[in-house]
Structure 1
Amino acid sequence: MLFDSPFVSLPVNDRGRDFCIGDLHGCRQMLDCLLMAVDFDSERDRLFSVGDLIHRGPESAACLCLAEQPWFFPVMGNHEAMQIAAYAGAYWVEDSKLETGLEYLADADPQAIAREHQRYQAILDGLPLAIETTLMDGRRVGIVHAGLRSPYLWADVQAIYRRDAELDRPRVALQPLLLWDRLPADFVFSAALPDAKTRIAALNLAQRRQQYVLGQQIPDIDLLISGHSQTPGDQPLRAGMRLFVDTGAGFEDGWLSMVELASGRCWQVPDPRMFPEMPVRILDRYLEPAMDWPWLSESEIPSLAEELQRAWFR
C-alpha cells in the first residue's frame, strides 16, 4: 500500500494476522512460496516489509509492484532510494544496465521502459520511511529498513515530515540512518559471534566512531524490526527489543524469512538456485529471545572491549 507521508501509523488488525518479511530483493517466487505455506488471506491478513524489494533477484518489478496491493505494507529501503536517484540521473547508465539502479529494466525494450517508467516512480514516491502498528495484545511494533540509534528515539521517527533531499548518500542524520545505518546490527551481531577477535574488532570500531547503541528499550515502541544487514547464519536474530530479519534473499545461498508478529513463528524458504524444491522450514516462537543478549549502554562498551582484549591475548 502506498502513502503520502514518510511516517505511517496503522491500527490494530482485528480481522486477521500480521506478518513481516525480510529484504525481498526481487525474489517473488520465494515470497509466493511462503504466502502459500501460511495460507495467507489477502482479505484479512497484512504483510509488512522492511524494504529492499528490488535488485539482485530475477523479479524486481513484480516485487516493487506489490506495494500497490492493499495488504502489502513496505517501508523504503536503501535500494529503493538508489532507484529514485537513478531515475533522477544520479547514476550513469553503461551498456543499458546499472548494477544498483534500473537493473530490472535492463532487458526491456524502450517502449516497455517508457510505459512503466511513471508507474515505478509513483510507487517509489509512495513508500514511507517507517511504519508502526499495534498488535492485539497492545504491543507497539515499529518497522524501518536499517537502523535507529542514539540520540534518536522513536518519537523522532514519528516526527519525520519530509524525505531527505539526498537519500542515496549515507550521511549521519536520522532519515539516512533509517535507510543505511549498519552500526546497531553490527554491534548486536558481534555479540552473537563466537569469535572473540571479531567481537573485539566490532567493539573497537564502535568506540572509534563514538556512536553507540544505547539502552535496551526505545521509548514508545515495544519491538523494532529491521533488515538491511544480513544476520550471521541463515536465521533472523532477536536482541532485546530489536528483531533483524534480513537473511540473504537475492543471494544464491540466502533465505527469505517471514515472521508472524503475534505468535512469533518464523517461516523460511531457501533460494531455488540452491534448493529447486524450495522446502519451507518453521521456527517456533522466534520473537522470544533464546538468551539474555548483552545489550550494552555507552558506559559499558569500553570495559567490555578491554575485557575481551584481556581474554583474547592472555
Structure 2
Amino acid sequence: MPPKLRLEASEFDPVGEPLKGFRPPTLLEILKLRNFYKNQDFNLKNRDLAEKVYPETLALWQKVHCSLPLRTKASIINQLIEHFTKIDKCRQGRANVHLLAGVRSSLKKVFNFTTCRCKLPEVLCKKASCEKNPEEHNHIFCCCPQNKIPESERVYLKALLDEDGPSDKYMFGAVDKEETRKGQNKNKRIEKIQIRSRDDLSDQFVQLEGCDNYIENDNSSDFKKKLPFNYNTLKLPTVAMEADRGHGSDTFVASIVNATLIDLGLLTKDNQDIVVTRHKIRTARKIKREEMRKKK
C-alpha cells in the first residue's frame, strides 16, 4: 500500500514556513508555522503543535510593548487548539457554511494575545478644551474591568486588531532601540533601589544581633534572602518629632525604634513586617517638618 501523501496546499492548509517580520502574526501565519512543525514530525498532535507555536508568537508580542497585559499560557494554548481543530474540520470538508465563514474571517485577523476583550470602543469628545488635536476629538477607551490596555498603546492595538495595522501608518515595524534602552535603564534603576533597601535592612538586623529574642548574627549569603519585603505603612510622627528634638541621625533613631519593638515582642523572627529603616525615619521627619511649617 503506497504511503499517504499530504493534500495539495489550499486555503485551510497553507505551505508551512517560519514566522517573518516584526509585527504580531495573523492566525494564517500561525497556521503556516504549525504546518512547518508538522512537516518535521507528522505524529505531533494539535496540543504539541500549539506548545511549539506559542514561544515564537509570544516573543513577537513582547516586542510590541512590555506594558501590554498578556493572557496566560494555558489560555492561549487552549484557544490555539480550538482554532486548529476548526481549521482541520474545514480542510477535511466537515464544516458547515457558518463555520467556514467564521474561519475565513479569523485567518486574516491578528491573533490577540492581550487580555482586552472590549474591542477598544471609540467615543467622540465634545469638550472644546480637549488636549488632543482639534481634528481628532475621538478617545479610545478600554472597558475591561482589570488589566486595562495603557492609553499610549490603545490606538496602535485597535488599528492592529481592526485589520488596519499591517497596511497603514500604525504598522508595527522593527524594535524601537531608543525606547528599549530607556526601559532597560529604568529597570536597572529600580533594581538598584531594591538592592540598596535590602542592604539597609540587613545592616539594621546585624546591628541588633545582641538581642537574645531575635536572630543570631548570620553572615551567610542566605541571610539577605530571608529578609522581609512587605511595605511598612506605619506613620511615626511622634518619633520624627523627638528625633528632630534630640538631633539624632536617621540610622540611630531607626535602630532605637527597632530595638524597642523587639523588647516589646512586636518584632520577631516570624513577624518582620514592621521593621523601621532609616528611609522610613527620614520620610517621617520631612512630613512632620512640613506640618509644623504649615501651622506657623
Pairwise TM-score range, normalised by the shorter structure: under 0.3
Choose between structure 1 and 2 for higher RCO, CA contacts under 8 A separated by at least 6 residues.
1
Provide the TM-score with structure 2 as the length reference.
Answer: 0.22
Provide the TM-score with structure 1 as the length reference.
Answer: 0.21
Structure with the larger strand share:
1
Q: Which has the larger radius of gyration?
A: 2
